[in-house]
């Protein structure tokens, strides 16, 4: 992810689609550089992917990732899907 306001790469996301013709998208991981964490970049990535695809989760998170995901649910940014 590149932030034009600060002219820097702040992180990246690796995602995949099992079926190129389908709408499902699976995030493998999101990595935001340490100095830019907790500024909404990861959430912005999720919002953009949701805009383009039906986002699915495999629920394999780091401890920090789990807290972030739970915050996305409580803020109604994502739904806690039944996909496991």
Residue-wise pLDDT for 17-63, tens only, equals 989 888 999 999 999 999 999 999 999 999 999 999 999 888 889 99
Residue 7 pairs with which residues in a beta bridge? Answer: none
Tell whether the model's pLDDT for residue 80 goes beyond 80. Answer: no
Indicate the pTM of the whole model. Answer: 0.81
Tell whether the model's pLDDT for residue 76 goes beyond 80. Answer: yes
With a CB cutoff of 8 Å and minimum separation 6, the contacts of 1 are 9, 10, 11, 12, 13, 32, 41, 44, 45
pLDDT of residue 6: 65
Domains of the chain: 2-74 (3.40.630.30)
The number of CA neighbours under 13 Å toward the Cβ of 10 is 18
Backbone angles phi, psi at 83, to 5 degrees: -70, 130
Tell whether the model's pLDDT for residue 1 goes beyond 80. Answer: no
């Amino acid at each position: 992810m590149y932030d034009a306001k600060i002219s820097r790469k702040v992180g990246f996301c690796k995602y995949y689609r099992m079926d190129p013709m389908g709408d499902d998208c699976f995030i493998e991981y999101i990595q935001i550089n340490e100095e830019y964490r907790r500024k909404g970049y990861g959430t912005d990535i999720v919002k953009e992917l949701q805009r383009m695809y039906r986002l699915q989760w495999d629920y394999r998170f780091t401890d920090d990732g789990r807290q972030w995901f739970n915050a996305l649910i409580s803020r109604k940014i994502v739904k806690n899907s039944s996909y496991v």
